Structures are given as C-alpha cells and as structure tokens.
Amino acid sequence: MMINQVKAYKVDAFVKNNSGGSPTGVVLNATGLTDGQMQFITDQLGVSHTAFVFEPATPGENVAVRFFTAGGEIVNCGHGTIAAHYTRAKHFNFSGHHVFYQQAKEGIQQIEVICEDQQVNIFVKQNKIHFFSPGIEEEKHLLEALNINATDLDSNYPIILASPGSKRFLLCVKSLELLNGIIPDFDRLKLVCDNVKSIGCFIYCIRSVQSKPEATARMFAPNIGVNEDIINGNSSGCLGAYLLNLKEEDNMELLVNQGHTLKCEGVVKVKVNKMDDHFETVIGGSAKIKTEILLTLP
C-alpha cells in the first residue's frame, strides 16, 4: 500500500541536563517506506541523521532500524539509536528496565532502556572495535587537511583508526583551545578519508586523567555528508576502548562532551570492559523530543 503521509520526530540525543544534544530525525513504524521516501524524509527534516524504526512482526523478535544522512544510508548511528529508542520508549509508555536487540545494517546490538524518576536513559552495546595504525603519509595528509601541526598533537595518544563497523580517525590535540580552533579543508579531508575508507575524523582532548577521565571532542564526517557531526556516540565508544587499551586497568568509565562549538552541548556516557580478546563498550545517554512533523510524501 502506498504511504502518502508520515509522522516524523525531531529529537535531541545525548542531551546534557535535559538541554543541548544532537538534533536527530526519527520515524516510528517505517514499514512500507521505500528507500527514496526515507531519503526524502531525511532531506526534509534537515538534520544530520534520521533513524527509521521497523517493529517486529512477531513479539520478541529484533527491532530493525535503518539510518540515513544527506549522503545516503549508513550502517549505524550512535545518536540515531539513542533518539530512536528514546522516542519508542515514550511512544509505548515504557516503564522500568528493558533489554532487547536492534538489527541494523552493521549487525545486531543489545539495547538497554532504563526508565526511572521520569528519566529515560538508553544504553547501546557496540560491536567489537578494531584498531588500525595509519601510515606516516596518511597522518601527514590528515594534519594538512585539518590545518594543524604535529606539534599540536598530544603524543600520549597516537593517531589511530578505530572501527566498530566503520573506520574513523581518532586524533588527540593538546588543548581545548586548539580543538575549538580547528577549521578543516573538507575537500582534502574527504580525500584522506576516502583513501583509508574512513567516515571521518574524531578529534578530542583529555580534560581529566582521574579515575573517571573526561574528554571533549568534535567529529568531522564529510564522507557521510556531515561536515561536522554535533555528537557522535560510536566514536565516543571507540575512544573509550582506545584509552583503556593504553592503560593496565580492566575497565573504565568516560564522559565525552561534544556539540559545544555548535551551541548544542551534550554528553555521551561510555563504559568499557577489557575482555580476553576485545573490548566490550557501551555508550549511553538520554534524549528529548522537540517537535512532531507530518510530512507529505512524493
């Protein structure tokens, strides 16, 4: 049956003190929508990512979610997942503690929904994260594309490529001032990322090295059509695994602040456990529904 209209939500994901966060599109009950219609909806909403939720035909089966950006469909999205399941929890009036599984193009992930004290928090277990070392020439071209120098980098945290399904550079600068001042050449950055099949570059600085380290970050992702992503949850989880890999501890909790340069400050909560052959990472946070929109489809 042809779908002529659809209700879409604009949801702020990874909010901090119930404000800020990453504006994200969500469509519940997307069954029957074509790929072209999902792309149209994404373009109409004007946000970086939109999540489309497909309820299971049989209770107990996995919930399917697809993610679109201006550049097309992507395999997964951290803040899209948070926004989708927050909206779903509100729509179905969830209460208490729920654990279920999401089927995305990247694979199956465990989703935990915790509803308490009128607060809804969503936690997502990431897929296994793999690390790759970039070459010297790749690092050189990356710095040139970002318009920064090798002396701006924090040598305690070498540049690395991390992938929970899609590669992204992780790069640490020495100060918040340096982080805030970065103005990339996006055409050059896209070429550098194309060369290693990376979606972009997650740049961060460490603000605390105590038992619960804290980071501030920015994500440039021109290869998925988002020059600067307000908040990138999957990259935050990659960072947590990378930092734990440099330590001798078995687990770590990390707060990653993002969105401040775009006036949408939010926070990603990261929990990492060191397993025998990999790192188990969980990213989480809350969200806020801003608006409901009824769209007429072509």
- Given a contact cutoff of 8 angstroms between Cβ atoms, the answer to whether 274 and 250 are in contact is yes
Strand pairing report for 226-229 and 96-104: unpaired
pLDDT of amino acid 209: 60
pLDDT of amino acid 22: 94
Q: Under CATH, to which class is 130-277 assigned?
A: alpha beta
Residue 247 has pLDDT above 90, yes or no: no
Residue 79 has pLDDT above 90, yes or no: yes
Confidence of residue 68 (pLDDT cuts 50, 70, 90): very high
The 10s digit of each residue's pLDDT in 135-180 is: 999 999 999 999 999 999 999 999 999 999 899 999 999 999 999 9
Q: Where are the domains of the chain?
A: 5-126+286-296, 130-277
pLDDT of amino acid 179: 98
Residue 101 to residue 111: CA distance in whole angstroms: 6
195 sits in which H/E element: helix 186-196
* Identical fold between 5-126+286-296 and 130-277: yes
Residue 9 has pLDDT above 70, yes or no: yes
205 sits in which H/E element: strand 198-208
Residue 70 has pLDDT above 70, yes or no: yes
DSSP for 141-172 reads HHHHHHT--GGGB-TTS--EEEESSSEEEEEE
Give the whole-number percent of the chain exceeding pLDDT 90.
Answer: 89
The fourth-level CATH superfamily of domain 5-126+286-296 is Diaminopimelate Epimerase; Chain A, domain 1 (3.10.310.10)
The better pLDDT of the pair 189, 2 is held by 189
